[in-house]
Amino acid sequence: MVRAYFSSEASDLFTPVEPEPPPIRLSKRDIRVLNHIMREGRATSSSLRRKGIRSAKQRLGKLRSSGIIGNYYMVELPMGYEVVLFRLSCTSKEAERLASTLSSVTTTAVNNVEGRRSYCLALTFSTRELKSDLVRGIRAIYGDEVELAEDVMDIHPAWLLPEELWDEGRQTFRWEGSLEELLITLKEVRARYNSRIVR
């Protein structure tokens, strides 16, 4: 992993990507329909009506014709793999290097956030045997730039869209505050865990 870090060069290939607006206007009820499909693997008008979603047939038709709903496949994390969330202070150029480094040893998704404070979020999917070496390696390479390296303990049930964060006017999720709250909570949990180990 260290060899991959030092052999990779930062380039301009990692370009910021703005979220694309949906092809049609979505309401919170539409988000609820999408969550139902992600949870159940399918949806019928009658199953959506039982969940209290009005105009279920029209909503499904609208989501299908716009291409938001296509084929749906249930995918689960293979047994024996664990998910680790990293947060590091870094620029977009360093985010590409981080992605290259992590992907040399494990399946990885990296997102760079530019703003008041620039940082990278990385999710890694690794075997239990590799996980501790992975965390130690990232801490060795990045040192104090590593703000968070935590297990994502429970990824079930399926990842769902945060209906309560959907802004119907802007047609986007208001995620900034919730992400910061999650990071603060994870730091508090880590502090409590570390204080128990010290005792």
**Assigned domain for 7 exists:** no
* Residues 135, 182 within the same domain: yes
Alpha-carbon span 163 to 73, nearest angstrom: 21
**Assigned domain for 192 exists:** yes
**Assigned domain for 148 exists:** yes
- Domain boundary residue, one of 11, 37, 65: 65
Taking alpha carbons only, the member of 158, 138, 157, 137 closest to residue 146 is 138
Q: What is the pLDDT of residue 153?
A: 63
Domain count, the chain: 2
* Residues 33, 96 within the same domain: no
Query: Token digits for 96?
Result: 């590409």
* Residues 129, 187 within the same domain: yes
Q: The domain that contains 103 carries what CATH number?
A: 3.30.70.920
> 0.75 cut: is pTM over it?
no
* Residues 88, 143 within the same domain: yes
Alpha-carbon span 13 to 177, nearest angstrom: 29
* Residues 177, 103 within the same domain: yes
Q: What is the mean pLDDT of residues 43-56?
A: 88
Positions of E strands within the chain: 81-89, 107-113, 119-127, 146-151, 166-167, 172-173
Neighbours of 158 (CB within 10 A): 14
* Residues 58, 116 within the same domain: no
Question: Which range, 4-8, 39-43, 117-121, 164-168, has the best average confidence (pLDDT)?
Answer: 164-168
* Residues 177, 113 within the same domain: yes
Q: What is the pLDDT of residue 104?
A: 87
Q: Give the residue, 153 or 99, on which the prediction is more confident.
A: 99
Q: Which has the minimum average pLDDT: 2-16, 41-55, 151-165?
A: 2-16
As a whole number of Å, the end-to-end CA separation of the chain is 33
Alpha-carbon span 154 to 143, nearest angstrom: 27
**Assigned domain for 23 exists:** no
Question: Pairing mode, if any, of strands 146-151 and 81-89?
Answer: antiparallel
* Residues 188, 90 within the same domain: yes
Instruction: State the Cα torsion 160-130-183-11 to the nearest 10°.
Output: -90
* Residues 108, 184 within the same domain: yes
pLDDT bin (cut points 50, 70, 90) of residue 175 is confident
Neighbours of 110 (CB within 10 A): 22
Neighbours of 11 (CB within 10 A): 10
Host domain of residue 50? 28-65
Q: Give the residue, 6 or 62, on which the prediction is more confident.
A: 62
Q: What is the pLDDT of residue 20?
A: 78
Q: What is the pLDDT of residue 140?
A: 92
In this predicted model, what pLDDT tens digit does every residue of 116-169 receive, in sequence order?
778 899 988 888 888 889 999 999 999 999 998 888 865 455 577 889 889 999
* Residues 82, 158 within the same domain: yes
**Assigned domain for 6 exists:** no
Q: Which residues contact 64 (CB under 8 A, 6 or more apart)?
A: 70
Amino acid at 162: P
**Assigned domain for 4 exists:** no
**Assigned domain for 22 exists:** no
**Assigned domain for 9 exists:** no
